Amino acid sequence: MSYNSFGRVFRFTTWGESHGPALGAVVDGCPPGLALAEADIQPWLDKRRPGTSRFTTQRQEPDQVRILSGVFEGRTTGTPISLMIENVDQRSKDYSEVALAYRPGHADYAYDAKYGFRDYRGGGRSSARETAARVAAGAVARAVIAEVRIRAYLVELGGDAIDRTAFDDAQIDANPFFCPDAAAAARWEEIMDRTRKAGSSVGAVVECMAEGVPAGWGSPLYAKLDSELAAAMMSINAVKGVEIGDGFAAARLTGEQNADPMRPGSFDNQGDGKPVFLANHAGGVAGGIATGQPVVVRVALKPTSSILTPVETITREGEASDIRTKGRHDPCVGIRAAPVVEAMMALVLADQKLLHRAQTGC
């Protein structure tokens, strides 16, 4: 029920501001006996870490995670797992202007309207830096759902979409864009260079696929798998849209076109009794419950609001002003969002696995 926690029985709480001494997550409800070390978490943080290419912010953060509790002799104990990441490269002086005037598109004005004042350094709590804590928590979630394989990748950047027929899994980690289409990745380099030079920004669409989710996970009606995914994804900074399966495109299909026909599993000699689906318009979820097909989610990320072009705004005192956002920013927050989307997928699935186990014993 708290504001900064997510999940029901596998539940995490994050804390920390962009320019505070540290940030972290407390993961509660993790099953005991799972192998877990800092080295299992660090690689995921490294994927999200800033400054790894010229296309992301140049803030230098090692994002070194420490496990402060809940693990004993290399295994989870079933007690809360406290994860902490110290902030290293804060340059709060960059934000003096932000203290005085609201950056349109940022949470500055809304936080002031809500709380009366705000920690303006680097966006404070509303900074995407908080997502490091999610990625760390997500790594714990992965240990809970070892049966599931999760991949997130960009399918669109700056309005330029990948060619689905060129989809190559191996490409995803081979370019700085988590882009499964090598040709698109090449084009995106140009887009990004142009954007960065212009002090502008672009949006992106991230897709995430989870394979191996057993039919049955999901908790109707108000903890539906897709509903939880929607909440999880929409809580990520800059996300403005979420789709499951065909999403908005499904609204343009007829019932016949949108059908996912089923055949007995033996048809394809799989022999495991599970049905074979002939399509996956539904994105692996029906009635809020996994069907056993890949779970497919797509999220739209708006362009970073921090741009060099001056934008009209007001000051804290209500005076007219304009603002150009200096500081160090990602010209496309969608890129570094991919590991965060993966983490949120893992966190939702871990929770649903345990919820399913609670109710059904399976």
Residues numbered 88-147 forming contacts with a second copy, rule: CB under 8 A: 102, 104-107, 109-111, 113-119, 124-126, 130
Whole-number Å distance between alpha carbons of 241 and 205:
9
* Residue 273, φ and ψ in degrees, nearest 5: 80, -10
Is 197 annotated to bind ligand?
no
Taking CB under 8 A as the criterion, the residue among 147, 309, 324, 326 binding a second copy is: 309
Taking CB under 8 A as the criterion, the residue among 100, 143, 182, 215 binding a second copy is: 215
Is 103 annotated to bind ligand?
no
Applying CB under 8 A, the site for a second copy has a residue count of: 157
Of 320-359, binders to a second copy (CB under 8 A) are 320, 334, 354-359
By beta-carbon proximity to a second copy, the closer residue of 172 and 204 is 204
- Residue 344 beta carbon to a second copy: minimum distance, rounded to whole angstroms: 11
Taking CB under 8 A as the criterion, the residue among 100, 143, 182, 311 binding a second copy is: 311
CB 62 within 8 A of CB 88: yes
- Residue 170 beta carbon to a second copy: minimum distance, rounded to whole angstroms: 25
Identify which range of 28-36, 41-49, 55-63, 173-181 contacts a second copy by CB under 8 A. 28-36
Nearest to 20 by CA among 121, 137, 146: 121
CB 356 within 8 A of CB 219: yes
By beta-carbon proximity to a second copy, the closer residue of 176 and 214 is 214
Whole-number Å distance between alpha carbons of 262 and 296:
18
Q: For residue 56, what are the contacts with CB-CB under 8 A and spacing of at least 6?
A: 50, 176, 330, 335, 336
∠ at Cα 312 (310, 313), nearest 5°? 120
**Three-state SS sequence of 60-78:** CCCCCEEECCCEECCEECC
Of 156-175, binders to a second copy (CB under 8 A) are 156, 158-159
Identify which range of 42-50, 57-65, 170-178, 300-308 contacts a second copy by CB under 8 A. 300-308
**Helix axes 131-144 and 333-360, enclosed angle (nearest 10):** 40
Cis peptide before 355 (omega within 30 of 0): no
CB 55 within 8 A of CB 190: no
By beta-carbon proximity to a second copy, the closer residue of 150 and 204 is 204
Kind and range of the H or E run holding 81? strand 81-86
Is 237 annotated to bind ligand?
yes
Is 302 annotated to bind ligand?
yes
Q: For residue 254, what are the contacts with CB-CB under 8 A and spacing of at least 6?
A: none
Is 175 annotated to bind ligand?
no
By beta-carbon proximity to a second copy, the closer residue of 9 and 182 is 9
Of 34-63, binders to a second copy (CB under 8 A) are none
By beta-carbon proximity to a second copy, the closer residue of 1 and 170 is 1
Is 48 annotated to bind ligand?
yes
Whole-number Å distance between alpha carbons of 7 and 222:
13
Using the structure block, give the residue that is written with the tokens 């406290």: 82
Ordered DSSP codes for 335-346: HHHHHHHHHHHH
- Residue 346 beta carbon to a second copy: minimum distance, rounded to whole angstroms: 16
Of 228-267, binders to a second copy (CB under 8 A) are 228-235, 237, 240-248, 250-267
Whole-number Å distance between alpha carbons of 48 and 177:
11
Is 92 annotated to bind ligand?
no
- Residue 40 beta carbon to a second copy: minimum distance, rounded to whole angstroms: 18
The neighbour count for residue 314, using CB atoms within 10 Å, is: 15
Task: Determine if 283 is a binding residue for a second copy (CB under 8 A).
Answer: yes
By beta-carbon proximity to a second copy, the closer residue of 170 and 361 is 361
Q: For residue 4, what are the contacts with CB-CB under 8 A and spacing of at least 6?
A: 13, 14, 15
Of 175-214, binders to a second copy (CB under 8 A) are 195, 200-205, 214
By beta-carbon proximity to a second copy, the closer residue of 129 and 174 is 129
Which residues contribute to the annotated binding site for NADP(+)?
48, 54
